[in-house]
Each structure stands twice: as C-alpha cells, then as structure tokens.
Amino acid sequence: MSTRPISLAPEVAQALKNGDPVVALESTIISHGMPYPENVESALRSEQTIRTHGAVPATVGILGGRLRIGLTAGEIDHFGQNSGIPKASRRDLPHLLAAGGDGATTVATTMIGAAMAGIRLFATGGIGGVHRGAQQSFDISADLLELAATDVAVVCAGAKSILDIPLTLEVLETHGVPVLGYRTDAFPAFYTRESGCGVDVRLDAPEQVARLLHSKWAAGLAGGVVIANPIPEAFALDSAYIEDMIEQALFACAQQGITGKRVTPFLLAHLHEHTGNKSLAANKQLVYHNCAVAADIAAAYAALCAKL
C-alpha cells in the first residue's frame, strides 16, 4: 500500500489507468491570482476548455495534508473564497503535509503532484522566474529548479512580464530545460506576444511536441519542458503600456516592503487594479488558450504512447 500523501479524483485515476490524456492545473492562480468570484469562474472554464479539447482536467491543491489531483467544483470554490490559504512551493510541502494543512499549489508543487500521479502535461498562465533586481535580492522562483528536475511539460504564455525574462531564460538554459515556441519563434511575455527573446526551437503541431517529449524522457533526460504559447493577438496588451504599469507596480512593491512569495500576488493585483482590469481579462484569455493547447498536446502524447 502506497504511503505517498496523494489522492487522485476517480475520473483522473480512471483516465490515467486507461492511458487517456490528462492535463494538470494549479490552484495558486485561484487563491492568489484573481479576485473572487472571477477566480472560480476562470478555473471552471479552464477545466471545461480542457474537456472540450478531449482531455481530462486535474486541478491540483493541498487539502488536509494531502496532494489532491483533481478537485471538485466545491473544493475549487473553497480555494477561491479563502485568500488565507497559503501559496505552497516545494519548501512548504513538508510542513503542510505533516500538519494536515491546506495549500494552493504553485507551478513547482503542481509539477510535483502531476509527476507523482503520472501526468505529463500541465497548463498554467506563466511560469515564475528570475525577479527584476535579483542581483541584489537573489529572488529566483523555485519553478525553474523544478523544471530542471521534474518530468512534466508546462504550457504557458512564457514568463510573467514582471520578471527579468533574459535572466530567466539563462537559468533554464543552464539547467538544460528546453524552451519550445508553439507556433512562434519569439518567447512571449505573458500579456504580450514577444519579449525580445527567442526560443530554442519552434514546433507547429501537437504531434511534433509529443514526439519531442517522448524522445526526451525515453532517452532518460530528466526534467521538464517549457512550451511557450503566446497570448492570442486579439487579447494581447501593448508592450510599452504594460511595461509602464509594471514599473509603477514594482515601485509600489518596494515602497511597501513587499518581499518573498508575496511579491507576485501583489504585483498582479496592482496591475489588475491600475489597468482597469485589462490585465485580468488578458490573464484569463491566455490561460484558456494554454489549456486548449495543453489538451491537444496531451491527446497527441497519449496517442503516441499507445502506439509504442
């Protein structure tokens, strides 16, 4: 009998047993990424988008000291209404598991839960990375080290615009994490389709991505893959406009002494407020787009594995 602190929803367990495509989703975006009730509405729409594209959604969260892989609508509402639920990255897991606590999983901990369950694809908004000013603060997201170690592919709209994207890509390169551009040669910057940086390789079809993922892991090359999927052009924000908003948000963050895991939620909330919710609308749309692409790739990966 397994002693791992993990529980799979029956639908997710059955899909994995059958070899059907499954896509993981994080819960930090629910508790700390958007206001209520929009966070819950967005989470449920994300799950529905994955279903529409032929895969099973598995939202990940920590409840009662267990990693839950696949949350009910009521549990998603619990995460949405309770902003006091802590963000849980890798370092926070031991305490929450031992204390029987609740936690909203970040990119890193969602990857951990997905890997434990055997889920290969994960859709999110944007990965964490190297924060601006990290030369002084050393503020670097644990997401990057998790990508180096854990065999899960993350479909995202690049890295969040509030980060130092060139340095983020340098860290990924150092740790051997492939950065794929899905139908793009440019690495996106969350709210915008381009960051001024490129990707390692461009792939234009789910089957191409599936073959790369299978080849990587079959060769024993541990670690994840970043699949950079730009926000749809109709919802992208002007790069100069959002950069000005980010600078204002960073200044407010410094003035208020916000540090550590509080930085990203503070900056996102500041942007949502001061852009008249333009950034919130863009955030939702890029997540839905990532869910659709992740489900397509998961289906292609499942089909490939079934043939081999």
Which of these, 211, 215, 228, 287, lies nearest to 57 by C-alpha position?
A: 287
pLDDT cut 90: percent of the chain above it: 79
Check residue 136 and give its pLDDT: 76
Task: Determine the average pLDDT of the residues in 152-179.
Answer: 95
Query: Rounded to 10 degrees, what is the CA torsion of 179, 112, 164, 103?
Result: 150
Residue 138, C-beta contacts closer than 8 angstroms, at least 6 positions apart: none
User: Quick one: tokens of 119?
Assistant: 């889920």
Per-residue pLDDT averaged across 203-212, rounded? 98
Q: Which residue has the tokens 């792939």?
A: 203
Tell me the catalytic residues.
26, 160
**Among 3.40.1790.10, 3.40.50.800, 3.40.50.620, 3.90.950.10, what is the CATH number of 6-307?**
3.40.1790.10
The 10 Å CB-count burial string (b at 16+, else e) for 135-165 is eeeebbbbbbbbbbbbbbbbbbbbbbbbbbb
Which tens digit of pLDDT belongs to each residue from 51-60?
999 999 999 9
Stronger pLDDT, 3 or 201, i.e. the higher one: 201
Question: pLDDT (tens digit, 9 = 90+) per residue, 234-293?
Answer: 999 998 998 898 888 888 988 898 877 777 778 778 887 888 788 889 999 999 999 999
11 HSE (CA, 13 A, CB side): 14
User: What is the model's pLDDT at position 265?
Assistant: 79
pLDDT digits (tens, 9 = 90+) for 86-135: 999 999 999 999 999 999 999 999 999 999 999 999 999 999 999 888 88
**Torsion sign over Cα 138, 140, 144, 145:** positive
2 — pLDDT class (breaks 50, 70, 90): low
Which carries the bigger pLDDT value, residue 79 or residue 308? 79
Q: What token pair was written down for 154?
A: 């993350």
Closest CA relative to residue 125, chosen from 222, 214, 229, 267:
229
